[in-house]
Amino acid sequence: MAKKKLVEHNALVQAIEMGSPKSELMVKFGYKSTSALKTAYLNALIALNKVPSINTRRIRKKKKVDNVVRIKRPWEPDYTEKPGRAFGL
C-alpha cells in the first residue's frame, strides 16, 4: 500500500473549490491518479469537519441468548412443534 502523503488540507480544498483543473492539481500536489486526488480531497473535508466521517466498521447485531435448557428423550414428542404434527394432522 502506498504511503499517505502529507498535504495541507486548506490549500487542497481551496484549490478544488476555486475550480482548478484536475491535471494541474495532480501535478501541484504530486498525485498520479484522479482517484488518489479524490481520496485526498475527501480526507481533507473530513479533517476540516466539513463532512461527517465515514464509519467503515461492520456493526453486528447482538443475538438474543436463550438460557433455557430443554431435555428431549427420543421416545417423547417434540414440544417445540404444534401437537398434532407428530401424528400427521
Residue 16: its pLDDT value, please?
Answer: 92
pTM of structure: 0.57
> Three-state DSSP class for 26?
helix
Task: Taking residues 42-70, report their average pLDDT.
Answer: 80
Domain boundaries, the chain: 9-47
Q: What pLDDT shows up at residue 2?
A: 59
Distance of CA 28 to the CA centre of its chain: 31
Average pLDDT in the chain: 80
Q: In this structure, how many other beta carbons lie within 10 angstroms of the beta carbon of residue 73?
A: 5
